[in-house]
């Protein structure tokens, strides 16, 4: 893999100055000596690498990937853990800071998830996991049977009500693009007969915090009630990539021309080469190490910038990412999506001996009535086929944003450890300090501005198609998890979107 920096020599200095000096002229002329790439891919996350890999494997020779970071992978990022494991451990001492699950490996009625197929091709293991869970009350004692029954009832009743609302089967509340999940939740509570008991209300709050706020990475008031179930499930159990997602990233990227530290500033799709009368896209930017500008000319460009980054570019005081500027309707459609935030507090011990009999399921909730949803949901990797002595605490939505903005890592780790100490309190034991703790901050990451996308209350039915429609007659395309209609917010959705965009480019070039 060529991880080269863009040196800024792709355009002659005169041409580069001409591009800067004539931004108001609409269609500008390139120098005939400017090299033309078949495809430039912006971003080396799963969508970008899938696009470049498909293009190269299907005959395109002049393909380059530009990446603003100093590494590839985007939101798929595996890091080592500072612990020693037995030589025969089923998984390495490593953890995914970003995407971590293969959502649905497939079943008898579906093809294998693309991430499973890719793992098989790369010779990498896939570790299937279960969704088993258990819950503890605020004092650290296991929840009662009455609580479990109330929680189960709410986990069945409210999703059913929400689906009926979206289908137009709730007489008192017709589907409306502006309705949030919180609006529908309020109506459900008001109409439920017999009225909810206090225990059922508490269980309902716990349920929606876990299954909506953490699943979709934002608050109920932000989530579209009408379109929240528009995505599809692949089928089958979830799984963990056995060597972390970065192993799949390395497999996809092998042999590709990838240029790191290359921040894209302008996508100009108004150029014409005079002798050929063809349209090209110019990708201009800055090398973040040297400060030198670069410009690449491409027959086609696939833009895989994460939604949060893209939205930040569109809302700058003087936005200039796209030349000409996007039509107002397309910009508005892009802004109608939300970029959620899911925070992980990763707690690592040398072994799982202190909790292996206390916490026996992959998922565990330790309820926090004072602030439902805050530092209350954990994932126990010791109870998965990975067998790692790791507990991961999750925060989502505004809780995660507030925690990121107001607390340092040490304070965040202390908050995540406190509920675990409550589990040990009945036995009089003390919680051993972790050997390592990692705190993710995807909201503060300038390249992502969040974790993954969701459909925001107020979005229209055709918002995704309107937001990410190709530009310049199909020469500038969009890809990424936020662009996929069926599998948004997933790694396989990002991957499939990259394949789809690259296939369109390969087909278009073949037809010439």
Residue 7 confidence class, pLDDT cut points 50, 70, 90 = very low
Residue 268 structure tokens: 């100009």
Decide if pLDDT at 20 tops 50.
no
pLDDT at 144: 94
User: Of the given ranges (185-194, 220-229, 308-317, 365-374), which has the lowest mean pLDDT?
Assistant: 365-374
Residue 182 structure tokens: 């919180």
pLDDT at 269: 93
For residues 172-183, average pLDDT? 96
pTM for this entry: 0.92
Helix axes 245-253, 114-122, angle to 10 degrees: 70
The residue count of the chain comes to 512
Decide if pLDDT at 133 tops 80.
yes
Residue 108 confidence class, pLDDT cut points 50, 70, 90 = confident
Which one, of 102, 1, 15, 512, lies nearest residue 296 by Cα? 15
- pLDDT per residue as tens digits for the range 335-360: 999 999 999 999 999 999 999 999 99
- pLDDT per residue as tens digits for the range 387-424: 999 999 999 999 999 999 999 999 999 999 999 999 99
- Residue 465: phi and psi, rounded to 5, are -65, -40
Question: 63: Cβ–Cβ under 8 A, 6 or more apart, which residues?
Answer: 37, 38, 39, 40, 41, 52, 55, 56, 256, 257
- Residue 209: phi and psi, rounded to 5, are -65, -40
User: Is the Cα torsion angle 128, 379, 135, 233 positive or negative in sign?
Assistant: negative
For residues 100-110, average pLDDT? 93
CA distances from 384 to 73, 227, 233, 247, 307 (A): 25, 32, 22, 19, 32
Tell me the chain's radius of gyration from C-alpha atoms: 24
- Residue entry with tokens 């990539």: 241
pLDDT at 12: 31
DSSP lists the bridge partners of residue 36 as 297
Q: In 123-180, where does DSSP find H-type helix?
A: 145-166
Decide if pLDDT at 4 tops 90.
no
Residue 442 structure tokens: 């995807």
- pLDDT per residue as tens digits for the range 356-366: 999 999 999 99
The H-or-E segment that residue 270 falls in is strand 262-273
Higher pLDDT, 349 or 35: 349
DSSP state at residue 473: G
pLDDT at 282: 95
Integer Cα distance of 341 and 348 in angstroms: 22
CA distances from 460 to 179, 264, 335, 468 (A): 11, 30, 11, 14
Q: Coil, helix or strand for 149? A: helix
pLDDT at 91: 95
CA distances from 439 to 190, 295, 343, 384, 414 (A): 39, 36, 8, 21, 11
- Nearest-10 Cα torsion for 491, 492, 494, 498: 140
Asked if 340 and 453 count as a contact pair (C-beta separation under 8 A), the reply is: yes
Q: Coil, helix or strand for 127? A: strand
Integer Cα distance of 86 and 169 in angstroms: 56
Full set of structural domains in the chain with CATH: 2-74+245-335+468-510 (3.50.50.60), 142-216 (no CATH)
- pLDDT per residue as tens digits for the range 257-304: 999 999 999 999 987 666 655 679 999 999 999 999 999 999 999 999
- pLDDT per residue as tens digits for the range 236-258: 999 999 999 999 999 999 999 99
Across the chain, what does the average pLDDT equal?
92
For residues 454-473, average pLDDT? 95
Decide if pLDDT at 16 tops 70.
no
pLDDT at 474: 95
pLDDT at 22: 31
pLDDT at 275: 60
Decide if pLDDT at 25 tops 50.
no
Decide if pLDDT at 385 tops 80.
yes
Decide if pLDDT at 6 tops 60.
no
Q: Left (φ > 0), alpha (ψ -120 to 50) or beta: where does 25 sit?
A: alpha
Residue 31 confidence class, pLDDT cut points 50, 70, 90 = low
- Nearest-10 Cα torsion for 61, 62, 68, 72: 10
Residue 109 confidence class, pLDDT cut points 50, 70, 90 = confident
Which one, of 226, 94, 97, 80, lies nearest residue 162 by Cα? 226
């Amino acid at each position: 893999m060529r991880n080269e920096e863009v040196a800024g020599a792709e355009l002659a200095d005169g041409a580069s100055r001409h591009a800067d000096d004539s931004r108001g002229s609409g269609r500008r002329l390139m120098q005939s000596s400017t090299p033309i790439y078949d495809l430039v891919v912006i971003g080396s996350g799963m969508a970008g690498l899938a696009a470049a890999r498909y293009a190269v494997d299907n005959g395109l020779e002049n393909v380059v990937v530009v990446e603003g970071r100093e590494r590839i992978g985007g939101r798929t990022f595996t890091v080592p853990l500072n612990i020693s494991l037995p030589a025969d451990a089923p998984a390495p001492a490593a953890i995914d800071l970003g995407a971590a699950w293969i959502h649905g490996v497939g079943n008898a009625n579906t093809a294998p998830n693309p991430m499973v197929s890719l793992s098989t091709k790369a010779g990498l293991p896939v570790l299937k996991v279960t969704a088993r869970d258990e819950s503890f009350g605020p004092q650290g004692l296991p929840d009662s049977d009455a609580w479990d029954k109330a929680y189960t009832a709410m986990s069945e009743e409210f999703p059913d009500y929400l689906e009926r609302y979206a289908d137009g089967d709730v007489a008192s509340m017709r589907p409306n693009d502006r309705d949030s999940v919180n609006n529908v939740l309020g109506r459900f509570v008001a109409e439920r007969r017999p009225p909810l008991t206090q225990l059922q209300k508490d269980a309902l709050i716990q349920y929606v915090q876990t299954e909506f706020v953490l699943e979709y990475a934002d608050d109920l008031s932000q989530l579209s009630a009408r379109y929240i179930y528009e995505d599809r499930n692949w089928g089958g159990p979830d799984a963990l990539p056995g060597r972390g997602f970065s192993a799949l990233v390395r497999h996809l990227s092998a042999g590709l021309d990838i240029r790191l530290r290359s921040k894209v500033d302008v996508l100009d799709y108004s150029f014409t080469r005079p002798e050929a009368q063809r349209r090209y896209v110019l990708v201009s930017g800055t090398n973040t190490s040297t400060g030198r500008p670069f410009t690449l000319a491409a027959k086609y460009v696939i833009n895989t910038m994460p939604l949060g980054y893209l939205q930040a570019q569109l809302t700058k005081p003087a936005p200039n990412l796209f030349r000409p500027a996007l039509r107002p309707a397309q910009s508005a459609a892009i802004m109608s999506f939300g970029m959620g935030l899911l925070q992980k507090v990763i707690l690592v011990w040398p072994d799982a001996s202190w909790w292996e009999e206390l916490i026996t399921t992959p998922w565990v909730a330790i309820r926090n009535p004072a602030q439902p949803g805050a530092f209350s949901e954990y994932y126990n990797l010791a109870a998965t086929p990975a067998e790692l002595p790791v507990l991961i605490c999750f925060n989502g939505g505004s809780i995660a944003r507030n925690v990121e903005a107001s607390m340092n890592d040490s304070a965040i780790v202390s908050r995540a450890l406190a509920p675990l100490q409550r589990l040990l309190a009945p036995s009089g034991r003390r919680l051993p300090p972790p050997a390592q703790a990692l705190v993710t901050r995807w909201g503060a990451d300038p390249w992502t501005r969040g974790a993954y996308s969701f459909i925001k209350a107020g979005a229209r039915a055709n918002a995704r198609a309107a937001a990410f429609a190709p530009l310049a007659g199909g020469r500038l395309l969009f890809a990424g998890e936020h662009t996929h209609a069926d599998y948004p917010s997933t790694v396989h959705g990002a991957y499939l979107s990259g394949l789809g965009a690259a296939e369109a480019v390969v087909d278009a070039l073949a037809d010439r």
